[in-house]
Structure 1
Amino acid sequence: MTLTQSLLVIVLLIATSAFFSLAEICLAASRRLRLRQMADEGDLRAERVLRVQEQPGHYFTVVQIGLNAVAILGGVVGEGSLSPYFARIFVLWFSPETAQGAAFAASFVTIIAVFLVFADLFPKRLGMNDPERIAVRMVGPMQVLITTFKPMVWLFTRSTDLLFKLLGIPAHRAETITSADILAMTEAGARAGVLAAREQQVIANVFELDTRLVNSVMTSRDRIAWFQKDDPEVVLRARIVAEPFSAYPICDGDIDHVLGYVDAKDMFQRVLSSQPLALDQGVPLHKALVVFDRLSLTEVLEQFRQAKEDFAIVVNEYSLVVGVITLNDVMSTVMGDLVGPQDEEQQIVQRDENSWLMDGVTPIQDVLRALDIDGLPHGDQYETLAGFLMVMLRRVPKKTDCVSSMGYTFEVMDVDSHRIDQVMVTRATASA
Structure 2
Amino acid sequence: MIVVLIAASAFFSMAELSLAASRRLRLRQLADEGDSRAAQVLKVQEQPGYYFTVVQIGVNTLAILAGVVGEGALTPHFEALLRPVMEIDNAQRLAFALSFGCVTMMFVVLADLLPKRLSMNEPERVAMTLVGPMIFLTLVLRPVAWGLNALTDLLLRILGRPVKPDNTITHADILALAEAGHQAGVVADAEQQVIENIFELDTRTVESSMTSRERIVYFSLDDDETLVRTRIAESPHSTYLVCEQDIDQVVGYVDATDLFQRVLRGEPISLRSDPALIKKVLIVPDRLTLAEVMTQFRQAHEDFAVIVNEYSLVVGVITLNDVMSTVMGSLVHTDEEEQQIVRRDDGSFLADGITPIPDVQRSLGLDEFPHPGQYDTLAGFLMVMLRRIPKRTDVVEWEGWRFEVVDVDSHRVDQVMITRVQPPSRDTPHD
TM-score > 0.5, shorter chain as reference:
yes
- Equivalents in 2 of 1:312, 1:412: separation in Å? 31
Q: Does 1:329 align with 2:292?
A: no
Does residue 362 (structure 1) correspond to residue 355 (structure 2)? The answer is yes
- Any stretches of 5+ residues in structure 2 without a counterpart? 424-431
Q: For the structure 1 residues 224 and 363, does the alpha-carbon distance in structure 2 shift closer, same or farther, using more than 3 Å as the test?
A: same
2:87, 2:287 → 1: CA distance?
Answer: 85
Taking the TM superposition and a 5 Å limit, the aligned residue runs for 1:8-407 are: 9-89=1-81, 95-282=87-274, 284-339=277-332, 345-407=338-400
Letter in 2 for 1:416: D
| Contact 2:31 2:39 (C-alpha < 8 Å) held by counterparts | yes
Given the superposition, is the C-alpha separation of residues 124 and 312 from structure 1 closer, same or farther in structure 2, using an over 3 Å criterion? same
Say if 1:286 and 1:341 are closer, same or farther in 2 by CA, change over 3 A.
farther
Unmatched runs of 5 consecutive residues or more in structure 1: 1-8
Distance 1:100 1:139 in 2: 44
Structure 2 residue matching 1:318: 3-state secondary structure? coil
Return the alpha-carbon distance in structure 1 between the equivalents of residues 336 and 77 of structure 2: 82
Please list the CA deviations of residues 94-117 of structure 1 after superposition, one character each: whole Å capped at 9, or x if unmatched: 654444333333322222221111
Residue identity opposite 2:58 in structure 1: G
Over aligned residue pairs, what C-alpha RMSD do you find? 2.2
CA deviation digits over 1:167-207, x for unaligned, max 9?
A: 23222222211011111112222223333222222122111
Other structure's SS at 1:379 match:
coil
Give the fraction of aligned pairs with identical amino acids, expressed as a percent. 61
Moved more, 163-172 or 276-285: 276-285
Offset from partner CA, 1:74-93 (integer Å, 9 cap, x none)? 11221233233334555566
Render the CA deviation track for 1:374-405: whole Å, top value 9, x for unaligned.
23233332110001111222222110111222
Relative to structure 1, is the Cα distance of residues 367 and 138 closer, same or farther in structure 2, using a 3 angstrom cutoff?
same
Per the TM alignment, residue 340 of structure 1 is displaced from its structure 2 partner at its CA by: 6.2
Amino acid in structure 2 at the alignment position of 1:302: T
C-alpha change, 1:380 and 1:105, in structure 2 (3 Å) is farther
CA contact (8 A) 1:46 1:136 kept: yes
Mapped to 1, the partners of 2:87 and 2:335 lie a distance apart of: 87
Determine if contact 1:328/1:339 at 8 Å carries over to the other structure.
no
Change beyond 3 A, Cα 1:98–1:341: closer
Q: C-alpha distance in 1, partners of 2:186/2:258?
A: 45
CA distance in 2, matches of 1:207, 1:172: 28
Which SS does the other structure have where 1:412 is aligned?
Answer: strand
1:17 deviates by 0.1
Deviation per CA, 1:304-328: give whole Å up to 9, x if none.
1111111100011221111110111
Q: What amino acid is aligned across from residue 290 of structure 1 in structure 2?
A: I
User: Structure 1 counterpart of 2:398, which letter?
Assistant: S
SS at match of 1:319: coil
Once the 2 structures are TM-superposed, how far is the Cα of residue 31 of structure 1 from its aligned partner?
1.9
Counterparts of 1:49 and 1:294 in 2: how far apart (Å)? 45
1:93–1:272 CA distance, 2 compared to 1 (3 A): farther
Report the TM-score, using the length of structure 2 for normalisation: 0.92
TM-score (norm 1): 0.91
Q: Give 2:426's aligned residue.
A: none
Of 248-257 and 41-50, more deviation after overlay is shown by 41-50
Q: Residue 148 of structure 1: CA displacement?
A: 2.1
Structure 1 CA distance, aligned partners of 2:82 and 2:384? 77
Could you tell me whether the CA contact under 8 Å between 1:27 and 1:49 is conserved in 2?
A: yes
Letter in structure 1 aligned against 2:409: D
